[in-house]
Amino acid sequence: MEINNDYTFSEIEVDTLQELMNIAFGQASADLAEVINVFIVLSVPSIKINKEESLTEFINSEIGDLKGYKIVEQSYWGKSRGVALLAFPHEAELELIAMFREDADTVVDAEMSDELDNEMLIEIGNILIGACVSKLAELLKDLVTFVPPRVISGEQLVEALVENRFESETSRVILLKTVFRINDRELSGHLFLLNNLDSIHTLKDALRAFWKQYE
């Protein structure tokens, strides 16, 4: 049997994936507005195939400087394995927490405030990531489950990525990126979805199935 070594996307595949993400994130943001009462604008997503070992560098260069960033990290399983990284700069993080805390029922204890901030970020991240990933999966006729998210600092990203190694034969990952902005506030962050490249064939099949609808 011939092994398919085609680990690249054709132009039409990239366009389809982009289109899919656009639809998925559009639906996600509409649904998010209903669920959390916050309108989130997700930018046109980009797709890249990256070497696993240069991921941190890439993410670092995408968002400027990872230092001072907090990242919500959440793994998911569907037909393929993936990790979502939601990164906010410190100021955005504080504003986001304040926004959600307005309706939280907890009184904040100064001695625990750091920890509670993290818990809050985890909750926000869980909703945002869940919305985007499951909408995308839905369009690809896939079903994903999630493990509980955790918060890491920008500096810890390298370790986290090593820990989370995809052990893909190709040591390459598919990287989907979008920038989100919240309401009319000057609040933005990045969402990265890293997928095991071993899943590329499943993904290609799903993409083919998707554009067949329009043929």
Partner 1 sequence: MIYRQVFDVINAGLVILDKDLRVCYWNRWMTKHSGIDCGDIVGSQLRDFFPDVYTKYFDRSIKSVFKFGNFVFMSQKLHKYLFKFPKNVSCFQSMQQSVTMGPIRERDNAISHAFIVIQDVTEIAAYDRKIREINIKDGLTGVYNRRYFESRLKDEFDRHKRYCHPLSLIMFDIDHFKSINDTYGHQYGDFVLKKISSTAIEMLRVNDMLARYGGEEFCCILPETTISSAMMVAERIRKNVETQDNNFTTIDASATTTTTSAKVTISLGVSELCEITNTCEHLLKKADDALYTAKREGRNRVVSMSLF
Task: Give the binding site for partner 1 (CB under 8 A).
Answer: 28, 31, 34-36, 103-106, 110-112, 115-116, 119-120, 122-123, 126-127, 130-131, 134-135, 143-146, 148-149
User: What's the min distance (Å) between Cβ of 164 and partner 1?
Assistant: 18
- Candidates 177, 174, 135; CA nearest to 46 is 177
Identity of the residue, 144 or 161, whose beta carbon is nearer to partner 1 in the bound complex: 144
Min CB(77)–partner 1 separation in Å = 11
Least Cα distance to 140 among 180, 188, 190, 174 occurs for 174
Return the number of the residue (59 or 128) whose C-beta is nearest partner 1: 128
Question: Does residue 10 contact residue 149 with C-beta atoms inside 8 Å?
Answer: no
The SS3 call for residue 4 is coil
Query: CB of 146: closest distance to partner 1 in angstroms?
Result: 5
User: Under a CB-based contact definition with an 8 Å cutoff, are residues 18 and 26 in contact?
Assistant: no
- What tokens appear for 128 in the block? 């945002």
SS3 13: helix
CB of 135 to partner 1, least distance (A): 7
The rounded distance, in Å, linking the Cα atoms of 24 and 18 is 10
- SS3 of residue 72 by DSSP: strand
CA distance 72 to 100: 16
Judged by beta carbon, residue 29 or residue 199, the one nearer partner 1 is 29
* Minimal distance, residue 214 CB to partner 1, in Å: 22
- Residue closer to partner 1 by CB (options 113, 171) is 113
Nearer of residues 40 and 173 to partner 1, judged by Cβ? 40
